[in-house]
């Protein structure tokens, strides 16, 4: 009990300490009141306690889209997020004859608003509760690694089940590497509709050339609307549904921001790895990242060639291409920052300092001395089959056919079990989501692209060494260790001929119908992809079982590792991002990115004109160029920044963000909307592993550019009026 009390006090210190740079840290909302003095010095005019009230203003207006962030900007459920966060909705509603990905979309009336597609969600966080004692309290230290994993797993599922009896969607993520657990309760809105998205020449201006780069001139915004049943409760899509009426929405600051202004970003950052060990990060830089870069480039080359030949394929693979491109540039930047930028060396020194601090005191050595060596041993053990395990996963991600078959087959195995014993992701609470994903798959599945990517992935499997073969695939396809590349290609082609000729999984009726079938009924279809999924399942299950034992071992070590970090730092450690609601703040500032190169903090319309080439990634629409010309000729606009003598487009700030923050509202010191977070600079991306408090900058789209475009270019004045009219909440 004394140790538990000390641990609670230690973590409480981490949640309340203020003696750190304010622009480092994706803070939990309850931490913000403790930063009141720092905020006041930066010009904050509100009550810091407001950020701890998840159902108040502004926190009640900020929502998750399940991978991106959005915010309510009107009392009629209007949501603003990033353009790249609605790519799926644009793709879902596109055809070669009506290409919304290229031309954008604007609903002039509520009746014209388009369904974002099956599986689209808006999550409104309503409650966060500390449940650490319920999850890890009273664990017998004599439990085996697997027993520890199973005990925690059951407790997590029980908490989620109890929480969801209230009609909410719940999760119980860990913070501080398993030291604390918080139960997150969210309202889950299931009817999401596309309202407005600008032309790609605005929303994706600069493309991959400018991605993660500065100066930037991208209009990365789009709008959804959330709908519910007439009773005000979440409901599936129906024409009878009505706009959701949030209790809070963000007022728009039409005056925008200027250099040195205080800004907040509220959102759902995905993952950071700042508390990984040096060995874990080094394995990432030595193997995972170079492999990811190489594989992304190879897949993009395949998809680019296919897309140039067929517009329909280009539309179907647009989301995959966007994800691969974004991940590729990000991974290159992280790798460069960790190795060339010296972050990996600094990480190693930090760990050496921690080890020395532990060894310097007998009590600390007894308490923590075994942690780092034990984690090192686990890391080394995990490397033995990483090639095989990663390649097995590559097969599933490359082929939508195989991925669907594996989902169907595994669901059939899980259904007969009691719900508490089903694997996470296959419990009854997940069945509707699985069905929606398989339904939505119809808009992206393509046999030509799928076969090309699966052939590529199988070539990687064919090249595996003898000690790491995927034996069920070898047996099914006729591959073997040491097979020559040319022979492997011919063997793979013959096997794929049989697979794609015999499958019915491209038929949505057939595919969806299998989701309710027993394992025997699924196998009785004799679909070749189902047969392959069944053959691969024992190996996949074996890997999952090994992973559970490993997770159980880490569940005993990581909290102690984190406890040592917190104790040494005096509590000055922020929790890693984990897709939960966070608040970060900083200032609008430029940065000296490299020797002789300084990034100014703002860009303007002039940069669009200068970059415009009329083709490719720098092809601004004629309507926008005409509007800029009219502005230059003297047309008045309230969105002009006097100091810049132009309409501002994007700006930099020192806030601490990562993936998942995309679409997050950027707020001024009054809590008003001044922009949207959408990217970071190339020099910043390694901060996911080790924060750089000098060079880290996030990129935002200025609300004035959004309003100017909506008013002067896209004839979306009705949405501007909806956002700016009425009471401020």
Residues belonging to the active site: 84, 220, 662
For 253-290, the three-class secondary structure string (H helix, E strand, C coil) is CCCCCCCCCEEEEEECCCECCCCCCHHHHHHHHHHHHH
Whether 627 and 633 have beta carbons less than 8 Å apart is answered as no
Burial of 288 (0-12, 13-18, 19+ CB in 10 A): middle
Structure tokens, 8: 């609670």
Angle at 111 between CA 105 and CA 116, to 5 degrees: 55
Residues 6+ apart with CB under 8 A from 262: 39, 42, 43, 44, 585, 586, 587, 668, 669
Angle at 238 between CA 236 and CA 240, to 5 degrees: 130
Give the pairing of strands 174-175 and 69-72: unpaired
Check residue 95 and report its DSSP letter: -
HSE of 339 in the Cβ direction (CA atoms, 13 Å)? 14
CA distances from residue 502 to 497, 509, 528 in whole angstroms, order as listed: 8, 16, 6
CA distances from residue 133 to 3, 7, 142, 179 in whole angstroms, order as listed: 13, 12, 18, 10
Phi first, then psi: give them for residue 470, nearest 5 degrees: -95, 90
Structure tokens, 389: 């395990």
Residues across the chain: 729
Whether 193 and 241 have beta carbons less than 8 Å apart is answered as no
Phi first, then psi: give them for residue 57, nearest 5 degrees: -100, 130
Question: DSSP string of 278-340?
Answer: HHHHHHIIIIIHHHHHHHHHHHHHHHHHHHHH-HHHHHHTHHHHHHHHHHHHHHHHHHHHHHT
Quote the CA–CA distance of 457 and 399 in Å, as a whole number: 9
Burial of 184 (0-12, 13-18, 19+ CB in 10 A): buried
Tell me how crowded residue 500 is: count the other CB atoms within 10 A of its CB.
Answer: 18
Question: DSSP string of 130-141?
Answer: E-HHHHHTT--T
Strands in 582-587's sheet, in edge-to-edge order, are 582-587, 262-267, 665-667, 673-680, 698-702, 648-653, 602-604
Closest Cα partner for 220 from 86, 359, 22, 380?
Answer: 86
Helix, strand, coil percentages (3-state) for the chain, rounded to 5, are 50, 15, 35
């Amino acid at each position: 009990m004394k140790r538990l009390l000390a641990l609670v006090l230690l973590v409480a210190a981490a949640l309340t300490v203020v003696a750190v740079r304010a622009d480092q840290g994706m803070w939990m909302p309850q931490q913000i009141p403790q930063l009141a003095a720092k905020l006041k010095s930066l010009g904050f005019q509100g009550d810091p306690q407001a950020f701890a009230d998840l159902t108040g203003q502004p926190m009640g207006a900020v929502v998750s889209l399940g991978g991106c962030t959005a915010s309510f900007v009107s009392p009629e459920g209007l949501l603003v997020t990033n353009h790249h966060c609605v790519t799926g909705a644009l793709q879902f509603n596109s055809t070669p004859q009506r290409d919304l990905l290229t031309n954008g979309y604007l609903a002039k009336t509520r009746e014209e608003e388009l369904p974002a597609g099956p599986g689209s969600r808006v999550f409104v966080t309503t409650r966060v509760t500390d449940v650490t004692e319920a999850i890890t309290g009273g664990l017998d230290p004599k439990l085996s690694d697997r027993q520890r994993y199973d005990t925690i797993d059951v407790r997590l599922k029980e908490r989620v089940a109890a929480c969801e009896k209230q009609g909410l969607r719940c999760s119980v993520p860990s913070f501080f590497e398993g030291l604390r657990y918080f139960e997150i309760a969210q309202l889950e809105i299931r009817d999401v509709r596309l309202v407005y998205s600008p032309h790609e020449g605005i929303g994706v201006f600069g493309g991959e050339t400018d991605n993660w780069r500065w100066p930037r001139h991208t209009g990365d915004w789009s709008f959804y609307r959330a709908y519910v049943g007439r009773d005000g409760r979440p409901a599936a899509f129906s024409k009878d549904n009505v706009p959701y009426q949030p209790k809070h929405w963000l007022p728009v600051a039409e005056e925008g921001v200027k250099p040195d202004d205080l800004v907040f970003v509220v959102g759902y950052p995905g993952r950071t790895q700042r508390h990984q060990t040096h060995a874990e990060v080094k394995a990432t830089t030595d193997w995972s990242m170079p492999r990811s870069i190489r594989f992304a480039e190879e897949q993009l080359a395949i998809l680019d060639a296919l897309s140039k030949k067929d517009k329909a394929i280009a539309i179907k693979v647009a989301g995959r291409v966007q994800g691969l491109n974004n991940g590729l540039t990000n991974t290159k930047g992280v790798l460069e920052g960790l190795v060339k930028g010296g972050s990996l060396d600094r990480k190693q020194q930090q760990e050496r300092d921690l080890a020395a601090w532990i060894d310097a005191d007998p009590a600390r050595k007894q308490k923590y001395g075994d942690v780092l060596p034990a984690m090192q041993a686990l890391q080394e053990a995990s490397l033995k089959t990483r090639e095989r395990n990663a390649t097995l996963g590559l097969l599933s991600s490359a082929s939508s056919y195989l991925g669907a078959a594996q989902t169907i087959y595994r669901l059939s195995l899980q259904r007969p079990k009691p719900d508490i014993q089903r694997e996470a992701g296959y419990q009854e609470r997940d069945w509707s989501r699985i069905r929606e994903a398989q339904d939505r798959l119809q808009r992206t599945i393509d046999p030509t692209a799928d076969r090309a990517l699966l052939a590529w992935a199988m070539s990687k499997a064919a090249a595996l060494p003898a000690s790491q073969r995927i034996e069920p695939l070898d047996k099914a396809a006729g591959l073997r260790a040491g097979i020559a590349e040319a022979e492997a290609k011919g063997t793979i082609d013959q096997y794929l001929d049989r697979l794609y000729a015999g499958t019915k999984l491209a038929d949505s009726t057939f595919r969806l119908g299998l989701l309710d079938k027993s394992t025997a009924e699924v196998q009785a279809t004799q679909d070749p992809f189902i047969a392959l999924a069944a053959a691969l399942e024992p190996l996949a299950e074996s890997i999952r079982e090994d992973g559970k034992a490993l997770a159980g071992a880490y569940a005993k070590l990581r909290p102690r590792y984190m406890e040592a970090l917190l104790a040494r730092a005096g509590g000055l450690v922020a929790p890693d991002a984990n897709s939960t609601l966070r608040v970060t703040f900083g200032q609008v500032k430029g940065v000296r990115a490299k020797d002789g190169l300084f990034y100014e903090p703002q860009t303007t319309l002039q940069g669009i004109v200068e970059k415009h080439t009329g083709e490719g990634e720098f092809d601004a629409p004629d309507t926008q160029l005409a509007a800029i010309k009219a502005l230059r000729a003297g047309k008045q606009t309230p969105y002009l920044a006097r100091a810049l003598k132009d309409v501002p487009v994007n700006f930099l700030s020192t806030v601490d963000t990562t993936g998942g923050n995309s679409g997050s509202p950027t707020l001024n010191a009054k809590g008003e909307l001044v922009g949207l977070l959408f990217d970071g600079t190339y020099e910043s991306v390694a901060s996911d592993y080790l924060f750089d408090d000098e060079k880290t900058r996030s990129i935002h789209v200025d609300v004035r550019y959004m309003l100017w475009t909506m008013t002067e270019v896209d004839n979306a004045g009705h949405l501007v009026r909806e956002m700016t009219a009425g009471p401020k909440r």
